[in-house]
Amino acid sequence: MSTPASAATSATGSAATAPAAVSLELREIVQEYPTADGKGVTRVVDSLSLRYDRPGINMLLGPSGCGKSTVLRMMGGVRPIGVATPTSGTVLIDGAPCVGAHDDSVMVFQRYANRPDLSVWDNVAFPFRLGLWRKRVAKAQWSARVDDILKAVGLWEHRALRPAQLSGGQNQRVALARALVLEPRILLMDEPFAALDAQTRVEMQQLLNDLYVRRPCLIVFVTHDVIEALALGDRVTVLSTQPARIADEFTIDEPRPRSATWQRATDTVKLEERVLNQLHAKSAGRGTVAVSI
């Protein structure tokens, strides 16, 4: 697995901080949802166990509808209304069972949910107006952090604009900045770049890597895009068709940013084919295979 460059300097010019110790574990997770007619249940996740025990960019891939968002929301303690989550099994953070949202974990979604009535600066500062964060961080400190992250994501010049005056990529930068300004130890990302055009998506992947080098944390990143998974992942976990189990898993040692030459290399192309075959397989997963390329 690639190790975060703890003493590196990021593309944004800020010194990197050493990664904070962190672990996130799903133990024997089962998730069942009520069927539409309300008469039965559908098992969406089946005895899933997964453990992350260090900072890194961890990609979660799987066929459409297999349960990726369900698994990610569970990691973030987000509960659908009226459904017990998880049906059985345990989510552990730093080895302790965690029910509900954890203070050190934040989520970023495909729909960036920026407030239309607030400026870019106020959107990023928004969490600090709320109870937990208002108590946790002094105003002078959070205000400096907002300035700093806006410079890091390239939005300093746009800080007075409203979301409607920004492009999709810039709006997603605001959402990313709002999550990272909290300096979370766990960052959960649900297809955050899926709605962006190809070039903006690559720019955002590069930005995420720069921000990660600057301040490593444990990232779980859901995507349905194999290329994105191979471009970003230290570790890639492929889920099976529903009910989701681990179908395949591997680590990638190649440092980021990963060159076009690496992406076209025979071993990389073989890995891509292997994941695509797994994504298109009709059968459920057949266990875990760990390889490094």
Ligand X SMILES: Nc1ncnc2c1ncn2[C@@H]1O[C@H](COP(=O)(O)OP(=O)(O)OP(=O)(O)O)[C@@H](O)[C@H]1O
**Residue whose structure tokens are 């904070």:** 20
Sheet holding 235-239, edge to edge: 105-109, 186-190, 218-223, 56-61, 235-239, 246-251
* Own/partner pairs, 34-42, CB within 8 angstroms, 24+ separation: 34/83, 42/242
The three-class DSSP label of residue 34 is strand
Which is closer to ligand X, CB of 65 or CB of 97? 65
Contact with ligand X (CB under 6 A) among 4, 55, 56, 67: 67
- Please identify, using beta-carbon distances, which residue of 64 and 261 lies nearer to ligand X: 64
Smallest distance, ligand X to C-beta of residue 226, A? 13
Using the rule CB under 6 A, is 278 a contact of ligand X? Answer: no
Q: How far is the CB of 32 from ligand X (least distance, A)?
A: 9
DSSP per-residue codes, 93-108: ETTEE--S--TTEEEE
Identify the residue among 57, 60, 61, 70 touching ligand X (CB under 6 A). 70
Q: Where are the beta strands (DSSP E) in the chain?
A: 24-34, 41-52, 56-61, 88-93, 96-97, 105-109, 186-190, 218-223, 235-239, 246-251
**Rounded least distance, CB 81 to ligand X, Å:** 8
3-class DSSP assignment, residue 158? helix
Asked if 56 touches ligand X (CB under 6 A), the answer is no
d(CA 31, CA 244): 9
- Which of 23, 69, 143, 251 binds ligand X (CB under 6 A)? It is 69
Under the criterion CB under 6 A, does residue 255 sit at the interface with ligand X?
no
The yes or no reply on residue 169 touching ligand X (CB under 6 A) is: no
Q: How many CB atoms lie within 10 A of CB 291?
A: 12
Tell which one of 22, 46, 48, 68 touches ligand X (CB under 6 A): 68
Whole-angstrom distance, CA of residue 229 vs CA of residue 215: 20
Other residues' Cβ atoms within 10 Å of the Cβ of residue 135: 8
Binding mask 193-232 for ligand X (x = CB under 6 A): -------------------------------x--------
Asked if 174 interacts with ligand X (CB under 6 A), we say no
Which residue, 148 or 225, has its beta carbon nearer to ligand X? 225
d(CA 127, CA 179): 9
Q: Does 126 bind ligand X (CB under 6 A)?
A: no
Query: Exactly one of 18, 80, 144, 286 binds ligand X (CB under 6 A); which one?
Result: 80
Shorter beta-carbon distance to ligand X: residue 80 or 97: 80
Name residues whose C-beta falls within 8 Å of residue 173's C-beta, 6 or more positions apart in sequence: 153, 154, 155, 204, 207
Q: Contact with ligand X (CB under 6 A): which of 33, 133, 156, 262?
A: 33
Nearer residue to ligand X within complex by CB, 159 or 224: 224
Question: Which residues of the chain form contacts with ligand X (CB under 6 A)?
Answer: 33, 44, 62, 64-70, 80, 83, 224
